[in-house]
Amino acid sequence: MKKWLSHSLIFFSLLLTFCVNAANKINGVRIWPSPDKTRVVFDLSNKPSVEHFFLTNPNRLVLDFKDTGKGLDLTSVAAKGKLVKKIRYSTPKIKNSRRVVIELAQPLNANIFALAPTQPYGDRLVVDLEGKQTVNQPVKTATNTTNRDLIIAIDAGHGGEDPGSIGAKGNYEKKVTLQISKRLKALIDKQKGMKAVMIRTGDYYVGLNKRSELARKSKADLLVSIHADAFTTPQPRGASVWMLSMRRANSEIGRWLEQKEKHSELLGGAAEVISDTANEKYLAKALLDMSMEHSIATSYEISNKIIGELKRVTKMHKKAPQAASLAVLKSPDIPSILVETGFISNPTEERLLNQRDHQQKLANALFKAVNNYFRANPPDGTLYASLYNEREYIVRRGDSLSVLAARYDVSINALKKANRLRTNTLRIGQKLKIPQS
């Protein structure tokens, strides 16, 4: 009996040791480099308990995962970006733990936090690596602010850890939005007097509040956020255009979008959501400012123009601008709109959204709408203002309505209407108003 008890105790002791050793496990590692930082994400079987420290000569970040057994073979993890050189295991100093070493290309700061399970991921440890702070150089103010380019900030929705909606065929929203955004950027950059700035240029996550902050740093005149819609059933289809609502959305789709945006923050990293509550006070005050009223009014006008162009190339889910309380639209000083280019949860539109021709048609429609709006409403100091504001012209020898119409890119009828002309005859010295084209 004593012998049996002794063997049983040894067995349960070994079983307990095994359970402790296997309390957690590293199942996967993903690396998401962006222009200013690199995110390393560890997929774990349970909530992590981690200690970390830096080493120099060479530069390394050491992570000690407590109560963690054998897991992923790190030799299969390829380094990406300019900041991370290699990820490997090392000998742990703590029993029943796993030591992971991230070899760094330079001295870096690290923001490390755990994320609870949220579909499609389980428990995760996020390591955000970025360069150490340097002394800010004085900002040089441009001496000549006239004839500047219009700046259009293009925000490709989701990215990195946050795939966005996923179609039945496995297509990711984050990929579709980036492809359409790049096509729109190419069109804008070809237009004289207009320049595009991409909020994200690759497959990495940008916090929702950071998106409008980046647009502001670029001194954007407009922020266009591009998405592909989804719903709980495959039936809904069609594009829609969204602008900021002072209240919560009053439609089912709008409430779904608001919930999806919260989910995106959890996928991409909850640290910003927690630390950014101070901005709510700033926003509450900013909402009272006249600039927000102007921003919303402008957003509404541009939304209508975009709907007018989109309906020529795709089915519309909503034929009027929709409103929802979405963080990416909350910049008080920049007109901001969100374009849902179609439902990726609808099989037909999932196929369309992945076709180059359809993506180009969508980009063309967005560009035409934005271009037409700013030609009719050019901000002061821009090249568009000098090109397209109504001007006065004195008729000279050799001038005709057809010549002037071609020169200023307006129709003959528009010239006649602006000047109340009943015939096509002009007189030398006659003053004409050149309308906006």
Residue pLDDT, tens place only, 289-312 = 456 677 888 999 999 999 999 999
What is residue 37's predicted lDDT score, i.e. its pLDDT? Answer: 92
Q: How high is the pLDDT of residue 207?
A: 87
Question: Structure pTM?
Answer: 0.76
The CATH number that domain 390-434 falls under is 3.10.350.10
Per-residue model confidence (pLDDT) at position 296? 82
User: Where does residue 157 rank: exposed (0-12), middle (13-18), buried (19+ CB within 10 A)?
Assistant: buried
Is the sign of the CA dihedral 310, 301, 340, 37 positive or negative?
positive
- CATH code assigned to 20-130: 2.60.40.3500
Q: Residue 139's pLDDT is what?
A: 40
Smallest CA-to-CA distance from 120 within 263, 270, 9 is with 263
The predicted structure's pLDDT at residue 295: 82
367-to-56, 358, 360 alpha-carbon distances in Å: 49, 14, 10
Average pLDDT value for residue range 229-254:
77
Quick check: 385 pLDDT over 70? yes
Q: What is the pLDDT at residue 146?
A: 73
Instruction: Delimit the CATH 3.40.630.40 region(s) of the chain.
Output: 150-272+280-376
Residue pair 179/246 in contact (Cβ under 8 Å)? The answer is: no
CATH code of the domain made up of 150-272+280-376: 3.40.630.40
Task: Read off the pLDDT of residues 38-67 as tens digits, 9 standing for 90 and up.
Answer: 999 999 999 999 999 999 999 999 999 999
Look at 248 and 175; give whichever has higher pLDDT.
175
Domain with CATH 2.60.40.3500 in the chain: 20-130
Q: Calculate mean pLDDT across residues 324-340.
A: 85
Task: Put the strands of the sheet holding 84-90 in their side by side order.
Answer: 50-55, 60-65, 98-104, 84-90
The confidence band for 133, taking pLDDT boundaries of 50, 70 and 90, is low
Q: Which whole number is the average pLDDT over 257-266?
A: 63
R_g of the chain computed on alpha carbons: 28
Of 293 and 214, the structure prediction assigns the larger pLDDT to: 214
Q: Which residue has the tokens 């129709």?
A: 411
Is the pLDDT assigned to residue 274 strictly greater than 50? no
- Give the pLDDT band of residue 382 (cuts 50, 70, 90): very high
For 139, the 3-state DSSP assignment is: coil
User: Helix, strand, or coil here: 50?
Assistant: strand
- Kindly give the interhelix angle for 173-190 and 356-376, rounded to the nearest 10 degrees: 50
Q: Is the pLDDT of residue 253 over 60?
A: no
Sheet holding 123-131, edge to edge: 26-33, 37-44, 123-131, 108-115
CATH 3.10.350.10 region(s) of the chain? 390-434
Q: What percentage of the chain carries pLDDT values higher than 90?
A: 56
Average pLDDT over residues 146-169: 93
Angle of CA points 322, 323, 328, to nearest 5°: 115
Residue 173 has pLDDT above 90, yes or no: yes
What is the chain's mean pLDDT, rounded?
84
Q: What is the DSSP letter of 38?
A: E
